[in-house]
Every structure is written in C-alpha cells, then in structure tokens.
Amino acid sequence: MSKESRPLQELSENLEGSLCRPQRGKWKRRSSCSGGLDTENTPNELIQQWSPPHKKILTSAKGKENEENTFVLARRPRKRRESAGLCWDSLPDELLLGILSRLSLQDLLRTSRVCKRWHCLAFDESLWHSVDLVGKAQLDAELGQVLSAGVLRLRCPHTCIGQPSFKSAQKLRVQHLDLSNCTVETSVLEDILSRCKHLQNLSLEGLVLSDSIIHSLAENTEIVRLNLCGCSGFSPESLAEMLKSCTRIEEMNVSWCDFSNLHVQAIAANIPSSVSHLNISGYRQNLTMEDVKAVVKRCPNLTNLDLSDSVLVTTDSFPVLQQLSSLRHLAVSRCYQIHPASLIDFEKFLNLQTLEVFGLIQDSYLPILCKGLPHIQINTQPFSTVARPTSASRKDRTLWGMHCRLVYKH
C-alpha cells in the first residue's frame, strides 16, 4: 500500500473502531482504540474536526440495539455552483423597465411573449405614453389593447378601425387623440369616446359623428384643441351643449361640416371666450354678417380667424374685424362679395401679419397689393392649420407639436 493512502486507511479504522461505552459519566475506550489516538479524542470531536463547520451534526441513540452505542450522523457538503453572470430574473422591475423603454414598438411586443413577468412589464403604462400607428392599415383588438395600456398620446389617422374589444369598462387615460379620416363605425367611435374623460387635443376630421359622441365630448372639459372639420351627424342642440361645457377651448376647427344655419348660429351664440384660433370657413350662405359680429363679440382675443368661402361676408365686416386688436392671421378667400379694390383697407390693421385672399384677385394684381400692404404677407398659407394635429407642410410625425416614442414601422 502506498504511503499516501495509509493515513486515510488509519483514519477510517480509527472512526470505525472508536465507538465507546459510557461508564459512570466517562468514556471508556475499547482495546482496538489504544494504539492510534490520545484518550481525549472522541469520535464526535473527530467528526467536528474533519466536517464543514456550518453543517449541523445530528446524533441518535434510540432503539434497543443502540442503547449502549451512540451513532454520529454527518452530511457531506454540496459544492455550490458558481454563477457565470447576472440572471435576467434577478434584475429589479425598475431596471427592466429602463431597458424596455429603449426598445422599438415591434421589439417591445416581441419581449412581451417571453414570460408572464415580461408580459406585465412590457405593457406597463410608463412605456405606452405615446404611440404612432400611422401606416397600420387595419386596427381591431390592437387598438383596444393600446388604449387600455394607458397611452396618453395616440396617432392613427387614415386607418380602418374594426372592433377594439375592450376587456373592461375602465376609463381611458388618453389626452391627445388623432383619428382624422379613419374608416370607423359610429357605434365603435361612441364606445371609444365614451371612455375618454381627460382629452386635451382631439381630431375627428372627416368622420360621421352622433349626438351621443358630442355629449361624450362635453364631459371632457379640459379640451384645448378640437378639430371637427368635415364632420356630420349631430344636432345644433348637442353642439351648443358641448360648447357651453368645454370652456377652455383655444383652437377650434368647424370648417366644411354638414351644418345648417342653425349649427352656425349655435356656434356664434355659444363659442367660449377662450378661443383664439377659429376656422369657420366653408358655409357659403349659412354664415351671415350677424354671425360674424356675434363671434367677434364673444371672442375678443382672436388671433387667427378663417372666414373663407362665405359669400355673405362683405366689406362691411372690415370695421367689425378691426375690433380684434390681437388679430394676426385672417383668411377671407373666395368671399366673393369683397371687392378686390377694397383689400387695400387692410392697411388699417396694424397688427395683421398674414392675409389669405385666394380667388379674390388675379395673380397679376398680387404684386401691386403686396406693395400697398408691405407689413402683411399675402397668400402664403393655402391650407389652414387651426387645431389640426399635423401641418400639411410638415414632413415630421408630430402630434400637435409632440413626438410619439413608440412608432409603427411597416
């Protein structure tokens, strides 16, 4: 036997042969133990010496066969596995949310399929505060899921909207919503807007509405910008009720709606005094001079006014409009009762900066008019920007000047 293995054999023999009997409170050694160890060393002390100190030692002396013997039980320590690196599961939610906030919309949706925890984190409302779905041709259950995720800003114009299928009746947190020119059933639109109570900016341009929708808008008393250009389907009474409730409106676009003279009168009689930008163009013979006077009286702080395509607006409106000391932008395009020669009277509007008179003068006369009104830019904006979420002249994807973090890329 080799020299290296002999101490291990001796230790094994010592452990097997060192069971002793208790006698009068002392330990009596058997004859086989007399050769190798000191009398002070007991089997229990040897086990403690050679076993890991953090393991608890169990002893057992029960049973008839063990009445005179004491057995010592020890467990061999397991070797701990060393971690190769940090585990994703060990990261706190705050750190994971910070990582997920750097992902694109598509990548965020992919991570939501990893596990239940990541699914909950991926749809945390802090990640969904602004979403741009322009380019997504069809929206069904996805729209309900995005709105329910707590989105504050949502941009999805020119989209075909099916059934959002909301899972609960909870109110939505959305504040800025652009549904311009979407293809959507009126009942679906009623369901969406009935859940909105905190709208600040809203564009429903080109949609068929209802009195129920207008009543829902009346509950959003914090609306600042409202674009109803080209809308139809609601009564003058509901329109008047909405204008009485929404007293914070600053920009309102109600141009080219399917309005009667009663709708126009409801606007003139109930428009909030807070309005500074108003587009009420396209009403041909439904907008009268009396309506213009009523609007000017109720909104003395108007800075941007569009009266285009109203054939009943004449040069008699000039003294009325001159009462608007803050007026900066005025549009009277295709108001054919205004004679071209009378346009020079706008020199009395000292604070006026831009004037739109498309269709009233020939191109050959425009340089002469510009020379007579040197402080005014003439015919520079063929399209109105009042309350519209995105200017037609801008190429970016802003929403009333605000960017969306999550952008759909097709």
pLDDT tens-digit profile of 70-128? Answer: 666 666 666 565 555 667 778 888 888 888 888 888 888 888 888 888 888 888 888 88
Per-residue pLDDT, averaged over 263-276, amounts to 97
Q: Is 239 exposed, middle or buried (0-12, 13-18, 19+ CB in 10 A)?
A: buried
Q: What is the pLDDT of residue 81?
A: 57
For the chain, report the end-to-end CA distance as a whole number of angstroms.
78
Three-class SS of residue 72? strand
Question: What's the Cα-to-Cα distance from 17 to each of 34, 129, 269, rounded to whole Å?
Answer: 10, 76, 111
Rounded to whole angstroms, the Cα distance separating 375 from 383 reads: 21
Query: Is pLDDT at 410 greater than 50 in this prediction?
Result: yes
Asked whether the predicted pLDDT for residue 38 surpasses 70, the reply is no
In the chain the domains, ranked by start, together with CATH numbers, are 91-126 (1.20.1280.50), 128-251+399-409 (3.80.10.10), 282-383 (3.80.10.10)
Mean pLDDT confidence for 250-255 = 98
262-276 mean pLDDT = 97
Would you say 314 and 337 are in contact if contact means Cβ atoms under 8 Å apart?
Answer: yes
C-alpha to C-alpha distance for 225 and 199, rounded to whole angstroms: 9
With residues binned 3-state (H G I as helix, E B as strand, rest as coil), the percentages for the chain, rounded to 5, are 30, 15, 55
Q: What is the pLDDT of residue 6?
A: 47
The proportion of the chain whose per-residue pLDDT surpasses 70, expressed as a percent, equals: 78
Q: What is d(CA 235, CA 256) in angstroms, rounded to the nearest whole number?
A: 15
Identify the helix (H) or strand (E) that includes residue 13.
helix 6-17
Whether pTM exceeds 0.95: no
CA 410, CA 398: separation in Å to the nearest integer? Answer: 18
CA distance linking residue 74 with residue 330, whole number of Å: 95
Interval 239-260 mean pLDDT = 97
pLDDT of res. 54: 53
State yes or no: pLDDT of 12 exceeds 90: no
Mean confidence (pLDDT) of the chain:
84
343-396 per-position pLDDT tens digit: 999 999 999 999 999 999 998 999 999 999 999 999 999 999 999 998 765 667
The secondary structure of 107-166 as a DSSP string is HHHHHTTS-HHHHHHHT-GGG-SEEE-TT--EESHHHHHHHHTT-SEEE-TT-EE-----
Those residues whose C-beta lies under 8 Å from the C-beta of residue 229, and which sit 6 or more positions away, are 205, 206, 253, 254, 255, 256, 257, 279, 387, 388
Quote the pLDDT of residue 78: 64
- Position 169 scores a pLDDT of 85
User: Tens digits of per-residue pLDDT, 155-181?
Assistant: 999 999 998 888 888 899 999 999 999
Predicted confidence band of residue 185 (pLDDT cuts 50, 70, 90): very high
Q: Residue with structure tokens 């309350």?
A: 387
Cα-based distances in Å from 207 to 116, 159, 229, 233, 265? 39, 12, 9, 9, 22
Is the per-residue pLDDT at 285 higher than 90?
Answer: yes
